[in-house]
Amino acid sequence: MKFFIRSFLLIQFLFTFSFLKGQSSLIDSLFHTDSLRHIVEVLASDSLKGRFTGTTESLKAADFIADEFKKAGLSPVAGNNGYFQEIKSSWFNVIGEIRGKSKPEQVIIFSAHYDHIGSINTNPHPEFGGQAEAERGDTIYNGANDDASGVSAVISLAKYFKALNNNERTLVFVAFTGEELGLLGSKYFVADCEPDSIIAVINIEMIGRGQFSNSNPFVTGYEKSDLIDILNRNYRSVSREKSKKGFLKVDINTSELLFSRSDNYSFAVKGFPAHTIMVTSASDKYYHNLNDETKTLDFNLMKKVIRAIAIGTSGLITGKDTPRRIKSAF
């Protein structure tokens, strides 16, 4: 019996180790700075004029994301028009999924918003920065960090999880519209969801520019559920990181109220464990600024953050981990 238990543990260890090793090399082969850069360059190009919700350029951005979802091998979600969920005329969330093998009714969401604040011509915001650039003729709020960086993460994670092909739960990948106008895309999305269907929401915002000395990603509303402890625990098991605190840090910018300022909030008010993973806060000098351009992003940093999310969510994907629901009143 002892021998049997020992052999069993050894086999289990070897299995886990080879699985994690395989997972790790798949990550390295799928997450390239070049492909992240390509996605950001397209979305943040001047030709998309700052992706203001409802514009022709915003529809072009949605088409591009839908194409990427198709290339990743995602399926459209029933009830939508292909990858598009229409909110009203010319307003679309872009959504694709990988159905879960044994627990398809349990959903993990990976999201980011693809809309931004347009240009000085279409959407004048005298309070926003970049006056000198405006005088030099730059009028477009490109939104490379906010939030083309997050969309590039969602697309890359879709490709990764499709290739990994071990999700027991259903994985839903969403690029929201209308975030900058008051989280409107995510509010519409969540109104349509079954009350107990969503196990966790990983929203990704502004991961392309280090703002503080260590550039570690932080998580908004860290203390409101145990989702982040779960992600850090999974991350530590693969990376052998020594730090007890893990790779994902507590949000120290609490006065900025970031937890309630991105699409995670639409889910959190319904009790779903929903947080935003960020690197840059709203006090960044390029936030909602004409200078939020592709050339200001650090693609190695983005790759590192996306890799951590891929590893950190492994227990959510396989159905091993279930985070606590958020119950505090807002």
Give the residues lining the site for Zn ion (CB under 5 A). Answer: 146-147, 205
Among 291, 286, 311, smallest CA distance to 217 is for 311
In the bound complex, what is the minimum distance in angstroms from residue 64's beta carbon to Zn ion?
18
**Token pair for 50:** 């700052």
Q: How far is the CB of 281 from Zn ion (least distance, A)?
A: 11
Q: In whole angstroms, how close is the CB of 262 to Zn ion at the nearest point?
A: 6
CB of 266 vs Zn ion, minimal distance in Å: 13
Q: Which is nearer to Zn ion, 152 or 234 (CB)?
A: 152
What is d(CA 44, CA 147) in angstroms, rounded to the nearest whole number? 9
| CB closer to Zn ion out of 276 and 314 | 276
How many other β-carbons are positioned within 10 Å of the β-carbon of residue 224?
A: 21
β-partners of residue 88 are 91
CB of 300 to Zn ion, least distance (A): 21
- Closest to 116 in 3D by CA, of 192, 201, 40: 40
Residue (of 204, 174, 170, 194) closest to 272 by Cα position: 194
Q: Is the distance from CB of 43 to CB of 51 less than 8 angstroms? A: yes
| Closest C-alpha among 133, 263, 279 to residue 198 | 263
SS3 of 151-214: the string is: HHHHHHHHHHHHHHCCCCEEEEEEEECCCCCCCHHHHHHHHCCCCCCEEEEEEEECCCCCCCCC
Minimal distance in Å, beta carbon 147 to Zn ion? 4
> CB-wise, 141 or 299, nearer to Zn ion?
141
Comparing CB distances to Zn ion, the nearer of 68 and 205 is 205
Residues 223 and 250: their CA atoms lie apart, in Å, by 8
Beta bridge partners of 146: none
Query: Which residue, 97 or 115, is less far from Zn ion as judged by CB?
Result: 115
- Minimal distance, residue 119 CB to Zn ion, in Å: 17
The least CB distance from residue 142 to Zn ion, in Å, is: 13
Q: Which is nearer to Zn ion, 149 or 232 (CB)?
A: 149
Q: Which residue, 147 or 321, is less far from Zn ion as judged by CB? A: 147
Q: Is-cis flag, bond preceding 147, omega within 30?
A: yes
Which of 259, 252, 164, 245 is closest to 203 using CA atoms? 259
The candidate with the shortest Cα–Cα distance to 153, out of 224, 202, 215, 117, is: 202
- In angstroms, what is the minimal distance from the CB of 141 to Zn ion? 11
State which residue, 117 or 158, has the beta carbon closest to Zn ion.
117
Residue 57 vs 147, nearer CB to Zn ion? 147
Distance CA 167, CA 319 (A): 8
